């Protein structure tokens, strides 16, 4: 019995070692490729920033991208904003009613929307819609050699395609967040009127009574960073996609995943900084 | 970097060279695609580079315009070394080279007119609006498609896309034209039309061209001189007649299989 067990243990040990070494090599390779990816992304960001301050800025393309981004997401942001405000109101009202604090509802909703819900939910929706669009568009331009064609015709593809998209995304997201906040408050007022009868003027007066600049300014500033993150990730993934058609889908998909994740990471950093400033 | 006129002696005649590739090597992930490739393009000629798919033909012309960086060797365009150029010098040299991509590579978010204007206003800086309009009209007429000006690339057929793509390259008056498989994916009639257009471009704009192809019909219609590329090496070089009469098994098989 013992004789039979020993070889089994030995066998198991040998196979575990080989598995372990395979896993170690694989992990090492993965870590290496991750570090290379981080280095490439850093170089890409630096290149884009340098090109953004160079001469011959593509103003026309920048305004076209701003219009496209705003136009593409306006309807989606409107619906999301209204639903966000309405859901918050419907869920918070019974709790506040229990404590006889229904009059605090507009202020509470306004603070939640302006400080956190509006910026983050809009940025996540934005990452899904615009980040994936950028990844897919630039990815397909790469596959069909349009980026190469731009390069050989003396245009600078980074300046024309990337800088304009990153800046448009950085400037348009804060506008969309403001709009989403307004829609959220509207949705909240509509929901409040399901069970009560509050005038829009009174609702807004109660809402803005508790909102100060300290609620609005940090939340507004962080949306620029959210926009930049979505722009950089979307264009980086598209611009550096592979040459096959499959890579277009991969670029779009990974752009959404990474941009959403980074939006949340930037958010936690922004919240910590705001918290430190408020103390 | 100064530009020098390079001259080579061929059959006792002195000919001006516009492009010279010496011992070019390029590999991808350890796989050698080009091995000590040598090539010379003389002024005003159409040089056809023949070869099967995957022999490094497209890699060769992408090295010429600096889209790919060679591992070793020299690429001289108008006597100037491409690999040693700074970015602005490379941009300057690219303005004198036209590149027709295999699938046209038209910008699909722009109309045909916008596609044509895009390189024109960037290369001919300060060009007047009236001249832009005139050039766009003239170039579309020269390719026989004046009616497509406001159409999107997705509304065009394969042949039309190739023609518009050709128009986009010739609108900036290039001195060297690089054609990457100009007739791939086209029917024989359209292929012949594109081949004729290549000859017209050479006559009208006095360009020197490299035509990368595996289409023998196109090669015979357009080529003044031919090079056979095989497994990244220049296998043979000569005129069309010399190729036709060659007893070399590779050239023979290529002519029999593709004719």
Chain B residue with the nearest C-alpha to that of A144: B105
> Which of B105, B109, B169 is nearest residue A148 as measured by Cβ atoms?
B105
H or E segment to which residue B246 belongs = none
pLDDT at A217: 92
The CATH number that domain B1-96+175-232 falls under is: 3.40.50.300
pLDDT digits (tens, 9 = 90+) for B180-214: 999 888 888 888 989 999 998 898 888 999 999 88
Q: Where are the beta strands (DSSP E) in chain B?
A: 6-10, 13-28, 31-42, 46-50, 72-77, 80-81, 97-100, 176-180, 208-213, 225-230, 233-238
Distance (Å) from the alpha carbon of A151 to chain B's nearest alpha carbon: 8
Distance (Å) from the alpha carbon of A153 to chain B's nearest alpha carbon: 6
Place of tokens 């694989």: A26
- Mean pLDDT (whole number) for A184-203: 91
CA A68 – CA B187 distance, rounded (Å): 38
Please list every residue in chain A whose beta carbon sits closer than 8 Å to the beta carbon of residue B97. Answer: 152
Q: Which part of chain B is CATH 3.40.50.300? A: 1-96+175-232
CA B257 – CA B259 distance, rounded (Å): 6
CA B106 – CA B165 distance, rounded (Å): 6
* CB A147, CB A161: distance < 8 Å: yes
Structure tokens at A254: 């990974």
Pick left, alpha or beta for residue A208 (phi over 0 → left; psi -120 to 50 → alpha; otherwise beta): alpha
Encode burial over A247-257: b for 16+ CB neighbours within 10 A, e otherwise.
Answer: bbbbbbebbbe
Cα A90–Cα A92–Cα A95 angle in degrees, nearest 5: 120
Structure tokens at A83: 């639903």
pLDDT digits (tens, 9 = 90+) for A19-75: 656 667 667 677 778 888 889 999 999 999 999 998 888 999 999 999 999 999 999
Q: Where are the beta strands (DSSP E) in B134-207?
A: 176-180
Q: Which of A149, A151, A165 to mutate to test the interface with B (most CBs of B within 10 A)?
A: A149
Phi, psi of B17, rounded to the nearest 5 degrees? -100, 140
Pairing of strands B176-180, B208-213: parallel
pLDDT at B114: 95
- β-bridge partners, B16: B7
Chain A residue with the nearest C-alpha to that of B65: A152
pLDDT digits (tens, 9 = 90+) for A100-123: 888 899 999 999 999 999 999 999
Q: Is B95 on the interface with A (CB under 8 A)?
A: yes
**Is B172 in Cβ contact with A155 (below 8 Å)?**
no
Distance (Å) from the alpha carbon of A126 to chain B's nearest alpha carbon: 21
DSSP per-residue string spanning B78-136: TTEESTT--HHHHHHHHTTEEEE-TT----TTS-HHHHHHHHHHHHSTT--HHHHHHHH
pLDDT digits (tens, 9 = 90+) for A255-268: 999 999 999 999 99
Pairing of strands B176-180, B97-100: parallel
* CB A43, CB A232: distance < 8 Å: no
């Amino acid at each position: 019995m013992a004789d039979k067990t020993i070889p089994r243990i030995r066998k198991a040990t040998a196979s575990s070692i080989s598995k372990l070494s395979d896993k170690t090599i694989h992990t090492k390779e993965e870590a290496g490729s991750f570090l290379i990816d981080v280095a490439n992304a850093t170089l890409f960001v630096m290149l884009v920033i340098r090109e953004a301050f160079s001469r011959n800025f593509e103003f026309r393309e920048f305004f076209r991208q701003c219009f496209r981004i705003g136009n593409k997401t306006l309807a989606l942001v409107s619906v999301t904003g209204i639903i966000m405000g309405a859901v918050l109101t419907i869920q918070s009202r019974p709790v506040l009613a229990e404590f006889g604090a229904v009059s605090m509802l507009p202020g509470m909703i306004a603070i939640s929307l302006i400080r956190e819900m509006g910026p983050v939910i809009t940025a996540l929706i934005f990452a899904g819609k615009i980040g994936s669009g950028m990844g897919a568009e630039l990815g397909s331009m790469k596959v069909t050699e349009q980026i190469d064609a731009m390069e050989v015709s003396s245009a600078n593809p980074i300046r024309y395609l990337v800088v304009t998209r990153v800046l448009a995304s950085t400037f348009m997201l804060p506008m969309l967040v403001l709009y989403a906040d307004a829609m959220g408050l509207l949705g909240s007022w509509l929901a409040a009127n399901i069970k009560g009868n509050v005038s829009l003027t009174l609702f807004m007066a109660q809402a803005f009574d508790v909102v100060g600049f300290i609620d609005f300014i940090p939340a507004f500033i962080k949306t620029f960073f959210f926009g930049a993150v979505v722009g950089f990730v979307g264009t980086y993934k598209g611009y550096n996609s592979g040459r096959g058609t499959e890579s277009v889908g991969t670029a779009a998909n990974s752009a959404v995943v990474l941009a959403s994740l980074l939006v949340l990471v930037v958010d936690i950093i922004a919240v910590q900084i705001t918290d430190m400033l408020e103390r | 970097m100064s530009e020098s006129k390079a001259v080579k002696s061929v059959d006792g005649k002195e000919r001006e060279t516009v492009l010279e590739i010496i011992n070019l090597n390029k590999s991808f992930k350890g796989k050698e695609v080009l091995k000590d490739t040598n090539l010379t393009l003389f002024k005003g000629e159409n040089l056809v580079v023949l070869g099967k798919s995957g022999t490094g033909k497209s890699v060769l012309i992408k090295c010429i315009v600096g889209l790919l960086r060679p591992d070793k060797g020299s690429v001289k365009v108008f006597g100037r070394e491409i690999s040693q150029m700074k970015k602005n010098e490379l941009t300057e040299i690219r303005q004198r080279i036209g590149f027709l991509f295999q699938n046209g590579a038209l910008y699909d978010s722009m109309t045909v007119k916008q596609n044509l204007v895009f390189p024109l206003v960037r290369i001919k800086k300060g060009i007047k609006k009236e001249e832009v309009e005139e050039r766009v009209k003239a170039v579309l007429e020269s390719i026989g498609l004046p009616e497509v000006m406001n159409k999107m690339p997705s509304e065009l057929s394969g042949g039309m896309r190739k023609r518009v793509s050709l128009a986009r390259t010739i609108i900036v008056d290039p001195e060297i034209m690089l054609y990457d498989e100009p007739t791939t994916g086209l029917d024989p009639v359209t292929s012949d039309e594109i081949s004729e257009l290549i000859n017209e471009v050479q006559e009208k704009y006095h360009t020197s061209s490299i035509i990368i192809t595996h289409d023998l019909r196109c090669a015979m219609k357009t080529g003044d001189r031919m090079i056979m590329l095989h497994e990244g090496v220049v296998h043979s070089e000569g005129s069309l007649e010399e190729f036709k009469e060659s007893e070399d098994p590779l050239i023979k098989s290529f002519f029999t299989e593709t004719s």
